[in-house]
Amino acid sequence: MSAWGYRSFENDDALDWLAGFTETRDPAAYVRDTFAPINEADEEDNVEIPECAAAVAAAEAVVAAANDDAPRLPAQGRAHITPLRQSPLLDDLREEARSALRRILDDSELAEEWHDAQAIEDMSGGWENSMRALIDELE
Give me the pLDDT at residue 89, please.
Answer: 96
Give me the pLDDT at residue 132, please.
Answer: 94
Give me the pLDDT at residue 116, please.
Answer: 75
CA–CA gap between residue 98 and residue 65 (Å, rounded): 15
Residue 7 lies in a domain: no
Residue 133 lies in a domain: yes
Q: What is the count of structural domains for the chain?
A: 1
Residue 2 lies in a domain: no
Give me the pLDDT at residue 26, please.
Answer: 96
| DSSP output for 69-100 | --SSS-HHHHTTHHHHHT-TTHHHHHHHHHHH
The burial of 13, by beta-carbon neighbours within 10 Å (0-12 exposed, 13-18 middle, 19 or more buried), is given as: buried
Residue 6 lies in a domain: no
For residue 30, the enclosing domain spans: 12-137
CA–CA gap between residue 46 and residue 107 (Å, rounded): 8
Residue 58 lies in a domain: yes
Give me the pLDDT at residue 6, please.
Answer: 80
Residue 5 lies in a domain: no
Helix axis angle, 27-39 relative to 90-106, nearest 10°?
30
Q: How many CA atoms lie within 13 A of 69 on its CB side?
A: 4
Residue 1 lies in a domain: no
Residue 90 lies in a domain: yes
CA–CA gap between residue 27 and residue 115 (Å, rounded): 32
What residues of the chain score a pLDDT lower than 50? Answer: none
Give me the pLDDT at residue 126, please.
Answer: 81
